[in-house]
Structures are given as C-alpha cells and as structure tokens.
Chains A and B, each alone.
Chain A
Amino acid sequence: MGTVTPQGSIRQWPGVARALMTALVLFCAALPLHAAEEEARVLMLYGVDPYLPPFLAMDKAMRESFAGGAGAQVHFFSESLDSQRFAMETLEPELAAVLENKYRALRIDVVVAISRMALDFFVRHRERLWPGARVVYVGFLGYEFDPSALPPGASAVVSILDVAGTIDIARRLQPRARRIVVVAGAAEVDRRAEQQAREALAEADERVPVEFLSGLPLPQLETQVAAEPPDSIVIYLAQFRDRDGRPYEPHDVLRGLVKTSRAPVYGAAESMLGLGAVAGSVASYETRGRLVGEQVRRALAGGLPDPSRAVLAAPNRCVADARALQRWSLDERRLPSGCEIRFEDVPIWRQYWWQIALTLAIIAAQAMLIVALFAQRRRRRVAEQAELAQRAVLARALRLTLAGELTGAIAHEINQPLGAILSNADAGDLLLDSGTDRREELRAVLADIRRDDLRASEVIQRLRDLLGKRIVERREFDLNEVVGDLESIMRAEARRRGVVLEIRRAPDGLAIVGDRVQIQQVLINLVLNAMDAVAEESGSRRTVAVSVAKGETGAVLAVRDRGRGIAPEHRTKLFESFFSTKRNGMGLGLSITRSIVEAHAGRVWAESGPGEGAVFQVELPLAVANGASSPHPA
C-alpha cells in the first residue's frame, strides 16, 4: 500500500489559499521577518511511553533525516501523555494547564502527534497551547486512525497493523496448523487492534478455528499459551493492559509468551521480531522515521500541503527472525519470496562475500603468480642445467677434435718411448749374446726401459684425462702445472709443424681453483690457434710463446703468436659461436674457451696490433688461502 489520499482533500483548499497568501506576503514584504524566524521548533507529543523501542528507532531515524540538511535550525521538544498507564480523564485539564504555562512564551511550529491519544489531545487543546502549529500525525491506520479525523492542514505518517498479512506468513510456514490463537490486550488501543484483527480474519475467511485471548493477566496467558500444541499459530497483537486494568509493557508480554509457548508466536510490529516473534508483515520504524522527517520539513516550509503527500504510509514487508525460525523448526524456504530474514547467523563468507571473494581472488592470483614464477624458475634451471650439460658435451667433443689435430704429436709422444724401449730391449739381447759380463750395461738398459715405459703410460694417462668422459672437478691446482702437463705434446706438435714454441712459467706457484682438464683445453686451443696463425709465416715469425705470470688481479696465461694478427672487424666477434676465419673452422673453440674461462670466474681477451701477431690472455682468479673462491666450472 502506497500513499493514502485523505478523502477530505477538498477541504484543504481554504488552507492552501491561506498558505499561498502568507507566502506571498512573506515574500513581498517580510523577508527580515522570515529571517527572524530562522529557528524552527518541533514538539514531539507522545501518547504513550516515548522510550518504547519502536519510538526510539523512529525518533532516531527522523532526527537523522534532519542532520546535514539545509534550512532553518530545528529544535525538538518532547512531551509524553503516557495515557496507557495513567488515567487521562482526570489528569488532562491539569496537564493542559501546565503545558499552557510551559509553552506560553514559546511558539511551536509543528507538533508531531504520536498515537491517536496524542492527536486527540492536540486537537482538543491546540488553540490554547500551540496556536498556529501544524500537526503531523504518526500512528496506525485503521483501528487507530481514520483519515477523516485529520484536522485541516495536518499531514500524517501511518502504518498498518497487517494482521491478515502476518497470518498469511504464518500459514505459509505452518501449512498444517490446526488452530490460530490471537493474543490481545484490554486497553482501548488493544481493543481497537483486536477489532481490526477480527475484521481481517473474517475477510480472509480462515478455515481453521481462531481463538482470541483478550486481556488475560500475564501468568494466566502464559499458562494458556503453553498448553497450545506445537502446530498452533499464536499471533500477538500487543497488550498494554489486562482486563483487570494492570498495565504492561507490550514487549514484556511477548517475551513471556515466547518463553513458554510450544507453538510459534508471530507479531505484526517490527520491534517484536527481535524479541522472539517468528515473523510478521511489518512496517519499518526507520522508514516511518524518515517519512515523519519529510512531513515535518514540509510543514515547516509552510508550503502547500500536497494532497497526494498529505498521508504517507510506511509499506509493510515480510520480516522473519532466523533464530525463532530455528527454535520452532520452521523452514525458511516456505517464507514468501523477498522476505527479509534477520538475525541470521550469517556465515562470514556470506556476509562479506565480495570482500572474501576479492581477497581469495587476490590470493589465488598471487598463488598463481608464485606458481608461475616457480615454474619459470624451474624451467630456467632445467634449461640452464641442460645448457651446462650440453656445454660439457660440446667441450668434450671439441677436446676430441683437438686430439684429432694433435694425432701426430700424440703418436710422436708415444712412439718415442716405445721406440726407445724396443731398441733398448734389442740392445740388451745383443749384450747378452756377446757372452762377456756386461751386467752394468744391462742394468742401465733395464732402467731406461722402465723410465720410457712410464713416460709412455703418462702420455696415455694425460690423454685419457683430457678426452675421457668425466665429471667436472673443482680443485686447487697450479696454473704452471697445466703448462707442464701439456708441454711434451705441445712441443711435439710444434716440432711437427716446424714452429718454435717458447714456454715461460711463473717463478712461483699460481694456485687457481677449477677443472684442470678444462684449463688444459683452453691452453691447447689457444696454442693450436696460434700455431695455425703462424702456419704461413717463415723464419723467426714461426714462433708461438706461452707464458704464465701473476697479473694484477689473478693468474694470467698468455699465448702470443707472430702471425698476421686479428683483423679489427673480427675482434668483436672472435669469441662468438660459429665465427671462424679458418676454412675448416667450426667457430666453437674460442666460444667454448670463453665459456670455460667465465665458468671459472675469469676472463679472456685478445690483443693485436697491425703486423704484430696476436696475444690471447686468460686471467683466472687466484685461489685464496682457504679456497673460498667459488667459481663453478661448467
């Protein structure tokens, strides 16, 4: 139900004309007068106890609707008749006299009359107490209020005691209910509510028997209700007094009922839903408060009372209490759609679903990111390891290639001792054949054979070290030794190629940490390159010099040739893979050399002046005393 248009809207026309004229007069001549009236006064006139929860909620919402609003400063006053608990018949004249005294010097602009008693009081005494004040009535429509009773110029905020709607909700929740018990009080307002309930039930044409418990004293009422079977429906209207005239706070009565009743108790007012009532078709106090604020503002503005807005009604809605539903084992799914369920033990995830969803989404996104990063890291590590392995394989393949190039030198190095051994053995034979005692000579022969044998096996051992499939080592060794390891092979190769090989070692040991064989490979590679570089040269230019020395920041191995040098345009590409100036070069030697050197935390570079030949230098960090340097050879 929306707004209720009072039937007597025509009767307001004189009021409208008056207001129009007043507005005109004010507008044309009395602006300062209006300014003096900046302060507006509103009297809240309660017919019943203003501290009852519904009124408190409504009052709060109304005052809030004024907060921050522009316009005149509004002062609120409050009076309570408390006519439910006091006999107004005898007190009214004296009360009116007191109020007359009280408000004589104070002009009240708007009186908000809450409940029918307050409205009636206002109508009876307005001229004496609050002359010129406009009234906003707040109360129930129907049993309490008839729009025709509204004084001229008044406006109203009404709510409807929706007994029929509440019973409808109860019937939905308890389709098999066999009885309906309606609890009502004996005060006048109680009786009017009961009357309205009876009419509503008659209209609804209930098929189940309906019993009214009207004005029973609370203990008796509780006993009676407790006797009801669980499949009954108990509707509580409100009880301000019992039939003996004993006053009650209506909510206390409800609390008592809820405590003892086995049957579900329903209420038709919003405040009842927090106190144990299961459900009801109720109007929101907050909405009512806002609507009151709206009517008060309109009345203060002195504007034309809009006939269509003169009576505003807060709509009734289905509201249920989840705790009560649970207590009486009622299925909330039976409630009409759109029914608001309060006090639900809302799981946190439902209450804050979007915050939680967002948080979870962020966490999930982070997790995915982390997983992705881990996966990426793993992939990179696998790739790096594969690259390392591949590089090791390649390095070995290149060592085999180097060995192929060195075949002549290797054969020489092995055949030399083998040849000596054979000749020595033959000589020994002949010495024995000679018949004379040549024991000393024979001993020398045998010693030489032994020495040459060891020499040959040493060459083979070195080759096996160089070429065998092996794990990369990380040990401390002297860079001079690497040159020593290869000296005979390098010399053999130099001899084969007719190249002069000069070798100069460092006077002191130069300890480095890493893989000895890989450094050997670096040396061989550089030396063979240098020999290639001088292949076309003749005379003293057919020279390759290998030197080991202590540099500024490490041990330096240098291989110098006196060939043609490096073309400037090649210098930058020298260490790149697949770059070669040799006709049959793969272009991997220097690239592997660099990767080996870098894996040993060192660096390799080339220098070359025009016509001076080239110098390739490898600098490797010296091992610190405790071996804490940490290169990771490939």
Chain B
Amino acid sequence: MSTTPLIHVVDDDLSMRTALLRLLGAAGFEACGYSSTGEFLLQPLPDRPGCLLLDLRMPGPSGLELQEALLRNKIMLPIVFLTGHGNVDSSVRAMKAGAVDFLTKPVKRDILLDAVARALARNASQRTARQESDQLQVRFASLTKRQREVFDRIVAGKLNKQIADELGIAERTVKREREQVMAKLDANSAADLGRLGELLRHSTAK
C-alpha cells in the first residue's frame, strides 16, 4: 500500500486536462487524468491517499453527480471543483456536499496547489480516523458478550454496583470484566471508554 497521494483529474477538455496533469506533476504530485466521470468510475480506485480535481460540467454525468455517487458509496476522496463558468447554485450545492473548494478557470497555481494540499490534508485525517475506527472495531469485536454488556453500561455512566444488580452478577465479577474491557480496548480510564463509545456509535451509525 503506497502512501504517496494520487490526484485524480476529471476534465473532458484534453488540453485543460493535460495542462493540469503537467502542472501537478511539476509540483511533485502524482496525478492521473480521466476524460469523463464514467471513465473515472470504471477504473478501480487504488487504496491510496489522494483527492479529486473535478470539472463541474461534462458531457454525461456532471461533477456534482459524481460527488453524490462517491458520498453514497462512502468513498472518501476530497473534491476540488474546477469550472469554466460557475454559478452560485452549483457552488453552494458542491460545498454543502463537502467539497474542499470551488475554483474558477483559469485558476492561479498557488490557489490550485493550496486547494489540492488542503484536500490531501483532509484525506489524510479522514484516512487516520478511518484507521482508528477500524482498529476500534477489531478490538471491540474481541469483547465477550458479558464484557460488551458491561461496556455499554459503563459508557452509560453507571456504577459497578448498579451494573452488578442489572446483570444479576457479583460486583466483583463486574470489576474483573471492566479491567478486561479496558485492557482489550486499550483504555486507561472511564473517560477514555466514554470517548471510544462515542466513536463506535458514530462509525456504526454511518
């Protein structure tokens, strides 16, 4: 798994696409061009950090439609929109749907590279969060049924005695299970457990 980011450029205009790829390449990025949203979607997406430079309007499905499709498929690839003639409507729509930026052609190098950098940064944090949540899921999966019941109640802020009463077990048993849960989930305190519970709820709700 490569960690070098890959920038996807989707623009139907060959010369624009070529110029963008050339600029990104000269700026030290690795970039790949597609002439339409369809072509982009047909390619298998490598598991690499990266972002999407997307022309707003193209023959066939537009940039906005691609954005929606990626969101639906939970593909986290930050998008920088590029447009020849944008309007408020489409920019608002794009930004609401989580676009990093909405740039108008011709675009200045600094602005473009800055937007790309921000997109990549967002992608990096997205990827980190995703990794954390993935690990958490793995650890959580290693809990026994009894340990998961105890965890739920700790996160709900209940005391050991209350938990023991609810589950009909000895308080001492609750204490031992609690230590096991904290060890498995790599938590140091009840507050830690609360944060993890929040993360878990968030990732399963998605």
Interface residues of A (CB under 8 A from B): 407-409, 411-413, 415-424, 426-427, 429-431, 434, 441, 445, 448, 451-452, 455, 491-492, 494-496, 498, 500
Contact = CB atoms under 8 A, between A and B. Distances in A.
Give the residue among B62, B82, B106 with the most A Cβ atoms within 10 A.
B106
A419 B16 contact: yes
Nearest to A438: B26
A408 B86 CA distance: 8
B62 A498 contact: yes
A251 B87 CA distance: 123
B81 to A, nearest CB: 13
B57 interface: yes
Given A418-B106, A419-B106, A427 B84 contact: no
Contact of B22 (A413, A423, A434, A492): A423
A420 B15 contact: yes
Given A427-B26, A430-B26, A422 B107 contact: yes
B23 interface: yes
9 contacts: A408-B87, A419-B82, A419-B107, A420-B106, A423-B16, A424-B19, A424-B23, A426-B26, A427-B19
B161 interface: no
A455 B14 CA distance: 13
Give the residue among A412, A424, A426, A492 with the most B Cβ atoms within 10 A.
A426
Interface of B: 12-13, 15-16, 18-20, 22-23, 25-27, 57-59, 62, 82, 84-85, 87, 104-109, 112
Contact of A420 (B13, B62, B87, B112): B13
Given A416-B16, A445-B22, 16 more contacts: A415-B85, A415-B105, A415-B106, A418-B105, A419-B19, A419-B84, A419-B106, A422-B108, A423-B19, A423-B22, A426-B108, A430-B23, A431-B26, A441-B22, A495-B58, A495-B59
A498 B65 CA distance: 11
A423 B59 contact: no
Contacts of A409: 85
B109 A426 contact: yes
A434 B85 contact: no
Contact of B27 (A430, A492, A494): A430
Contact of A426 (B18, B23, B84, B85): B23
A456 to B, nearest CB: 10
Give the residue among A407, A416, A445 with the most B Cβ atoms within 10 A.
A416
B41 to A, nearest CB: 18
Nearest to B82: A419
Contact of B104 (A415, A423, A451, A496): A415
Nearest to A494: B59
A99 B87 CA distance: 140
A416 B13 contact: yes
A419 B27 contact: no
B22 A412 contact: no
B84 A420 contact: no
A495 B62 CA distance: 9
B18 to A, nearest CB: 6
A431 B27 CA distance: 8
A451 B15 CA distance: 9
B26 A416 contact: no
A492 B56 CA distance: 12
Contact of B25 (A411, A422, A427): A427
Nearest to A423: B19
Given A416-B105, A419-B105, A420-B15, A408 B85 contact: yes
B59 A420 contact: no
A3 B23 CA distance: 138
A418 B18 CA distance: 13
Contacts of A441: 22
B26 to A, nearest CB: 3
Contact of A448 (B15, B62, B82, B108): B15
A500 B59 contact: yes
B106 A421 contact: yes
Nearest to A445: B22
A452 B26 contact: no
Contacts of A451: 15
A175 B184 CA distance: 167
A148 B104 CA distance: 141
Given A431-B26, A448-B19, A422 B84 contact: no
Contacts of A427: 19, 22-23, 25-26
Contacts of B57: 412, 495-496, 498
Contacts of B108: 422, 426
Contacts of B16: 416-417, 419-420, 423
A407 B59 CA distance: 18
Shortest beta-carbon contacts, A-B, top 10: A419-B105, A430-B26, A423-B19, A412-B84, A411-B85, A426-B109, A419-B106, A415-B84, A427-B23, A422-B106
A434 to B, nearest CB: 7
Give the residue among B15, B18, B87 with the most A Cβ atoms within 10 A.
B15
Contacts of B58: 495
A372 B58 CA distance: 64
A412 B85 contact: yes
Contacts of A417: 15-16
A425 to B, nearest CB: 9
Nearest to A491: B59
Contacts of B109: 422-423, 426, 429-430
Contacts of A418: 105-106
A434 B22 CA distance: 13
Give the residue among A413, A418, A430, A455 with the most B Cβ atoms within 10 A.
A430
Give the residue among B18, B87, B104, B112 with the most A Cβ atoms within 10 A.
B18
A195 B104 CA distance: 138
B105 A496 contact: no
A175 to B, nearest CB: 112
A500 B22 CA distance: 30
Nearest to A421: B106
A451 B112 CA distance: 23
Contacts of B19: 419-424, 427, 448, 452
Contacts of A415: 84-85, 104-106
A451 B18 CA distance: 13
Give the residue among A427, A452, A455, A491 with the most B Cβ atoms within 10 A.
A427
